[in-house]
Amino acid sequence: MGKIRPLLLSGLAGALLLVSLVTFYTPETQASDTPFSNNSTLGANNNTTSIMRLPSQEGFSVRLLAANFSAPYNILYGPDGALWITERVGKVITRVDPESGSKLGSIPVPNVHQSAPQDGLMGMAFDPAFNNTHHIYVAYTYDADPSDALDRRVKITRFTYDAAAGTIGNPVDLISGLYGSTDHNSGRMTFGPDGKLYYTIGDQGKNYLANYCLENQAQSLPTAEQVAARNWTAYQGKVLRMNPDGSIPDDNPVINGVRSHILTYGHRNPQGIAVGPNGNSLYVSEHGDKSDDELNRLQAGGNYGWPNVAGYNDDKAYQYVNWSGAKNCKDLKFDNTAPPPPGVPVMNESEFDAPNFVPPVHTFYTVENGYNFRDPACGDLTYICWPTVAPSSLRLYTSDAIPGWQDTFLMTTLKAGKIFQLALDENGTALARDPVELFRSENRYRDLAFSPDGSTIYVITDSSGPAQAIGGGATINLWNPGSVLVFRYEGTGGASMSK
């Protein structure tokens, strides 16, 4: 087949009009940063041509597999050969044919409560023995108050999948009554090679934005009495490790004299978790505040510093401004780009001296004091211009199908319109080389999954929200909202990414 280049009618960048009758991949003609070179028409009616832009990447073909998902949050390539996608707002698990993109059915998850920007149906994991047990594990917010009032909590429930009926049933709660929030629930999970279930629970966005008068609990640790009473107040800003029945493993760390579900603490919003190369260690990606998103390697009992430390303990462009510690907090207007008002306790990072502090493997990005966090290029969406990327997921690529990729992480981002490839050094405690930036677009990349043969990457995107515009500043006009994109390696050798 010949190469067909789309006819390009250029105008203003924001209103760029692309017309093409086919979607076709033209690797020789595409620069890795050319945003508009793959395109296609959508819609059954030729009279209503709609315009779609797709990211491009040298060495990869790109296509839209499926769309119209309701805030897709977690994607897994299932043992049954289907893509399984949780829809956070939709409160369903939708199964998708990875070739045709057909939706094979949407499975309602019962008793999910969703009413805020970051709550609803979240992470999901297959039982490692799924083909025998048909068990899947799902995390979601629910309303624990039987009255009209809302008590937003999180639980992890095991369901049994009925393939013939296309339903899930036999719910068994592993853990319930975890704090839930409008913000920073995190809600990712994975099984480790040790057969334990690992779950990330964020700091609930406390001491921040709408929740700025609530005390941040990321440094809190439970008492033995709280654990016995199943009081999970201290389980905020943590990574939890549990047996598949939800019980506390006998070999979990004893922290401050207490063994609990807590593996690590001092986390902010760890939305990505993955087992590292060769089954060694677990890693999380987490959102920083105005700087210092982090890749972290988990060490049992480790303190990852938040909210006292962002990134490294280096006193760079961050202080712990404890709004919730102000007696008159409710009278104050939250603004984290202005000097804190009188009465708000402020701590320098260097005042934090926890002996078990674990610095990040890498930050995105650390900046110097005096950095301008009010870049006018982003207008009212100032945070889109901050030196953060908003890492939303972390997945390990284990195949040898793509040259140079084996045992590297792919990390999706919400703000940067990129997927980062991260290669660890021999010790697993630092990056071996600079991150490689892939698949630039104006999308909020939420999560990804790999095909079993390693040739294909399936990426889900947020349904709405802002991202960094390619020309600078911020945009809310996402290219492929609420979709599954497919990036297929075409074996040209041009994408070894091993610079």
Active site residues: 184
If the CB atoms of residues 54 and 361 are measured against Ca ion, the closer one turns out to be: 361
If the CB atoms of residues 183 and 294 are measured against Ca ion, the closer one turns out to be: 294
Kindly provide the residue ranges of all beta strands, DSSP E only, lying in 361-466, ordered along the sequence: 362-364, 391-397, 408-413, 419-423, 436-438, 445-450, 456-461
Q: How far is the CB of 260 from Ca ion (least distance, A)?
A: 20
Can you spell out the DSSP letters for 49-87? -EEEEE--BTTEEEEEEE---SSEEEEEE-TTSSEEEEE
Distance (Å, rounded) from C-alpha 334 to C-alpha 336? Answer: 7
Residues 6+ positions from 172 with CB-CB distance below 8 Å: 157, 158, 245
Residue 137's beta-bridge partner residues? Answer: 125, 158
Which 318-347 positions form the footprint of Ca ion (CB under 5 A)?
318
Distance (Å, rounded) from C-alpha 306 to C-alpha 264? Answer: 11
If the CB atoms of residues 243 and 356 are measured against Ca ion, the closer one turns out to be: 356
First to last CA, the chain: 32
Q: How far is the CB of 287 from Ca ion (least distance, A)?
A: 11
H and E: helices and strands count for the chain = 2, 34
Distance (Å, rounded) from C-alpha 86 to C-alpha 155? Answer: 15
Which 252-311 positions form the footprint of Ca ion (CB under 5 A)?
294, 304-305, 310-311
If the CB atoms of residues 310 and 469 are measured against Ca ion, the closer one turns out to be: 310
If the CB atoms of residues 177 and 473 are measured against Ca ion, the closer one turns out to be: 177
| The two structure tokens encoding residue 101 | 């993109």
For residue 326, count other CB atoms closer than 10 A to its CB. 19
* 90 belongs to the binding site for Ca ion (CB under 5 A): no
Q: How far is the CB of 289 from Ca ion (least distance, A)?
A: 10
Among 58, 97, 143, 490, binds Ca ion (CB under 5 A): 143
φ, ψ for residue 142 (rounded to 5)?
Answer: -145, 165
If the CB atoms of residues 54 and 201 are measured against Ca ion, the closer one turns out to be: 201
| The two structure tokens encoding residue 295 | 């890749």
Q: How far is the CB of 144 from Ca ion (least distance, A)?
A: 8
Q: How far is the CB of 280 from Ca ion (least distance, A)?
A: 20
| The two structure tokens encoding residue 113 | 């409560």
Q: Considering CB under 5 A, how many residues would be counted as binding Ca ion?
A: 10
- Give the angle subtended at the CA of 53 by the CAs of 89 and 2, to the nearest 5°: 135
The candidate with the shortest Cα–Cα distance to 265, out of 206, 217, 228, 215, is 217
Among 33, 99, 145, 425, binds Ca ion (CB under 5 A): 145
| The two structure tokens encoding residue 316 | 């760079």
The SS3 of residue 264 is: strand
Q: How far is the CB of 138 from Ca ion (least distance, A)?
A: 21
In this structure, are residues 469 and 439 in contact, taking their beta carbons and an 8 Å threshold?
no
Kindly provide the residue ranges of all beta strands, DSSP E only, lying in 324-450, ordered along the sequence: 346-348, 362-364, 391-397, 408-413, 419-423, 436-438, 445-450
Among 314, 375, 407, 490, binds Ca ion (CB under 5 A): 314
Q: How far is the CB of 480 from Ca ion (least distance, A)?
A: 32
Q: How far is the CB of 197 from Ca ion (least distance, A)?
A: 23
If the CB atoms of residues 58 and 143 are measured against Ca ion, the closer one turns out to be: 143
- Which range touches Ca ion (CB under 5 A), out of 103-111, 121-129, 312-320, 454-462? 312-320
**Locate tokens 């939706």: which residue?**
103
If the CB atoms of residues 84 and 142 are measured against Ca ion, the closer one turns out to be: 142
Contact residues: Ca ion, CB under 5 A: 143, 145, 294, 304-305, 310-312, 314, 318
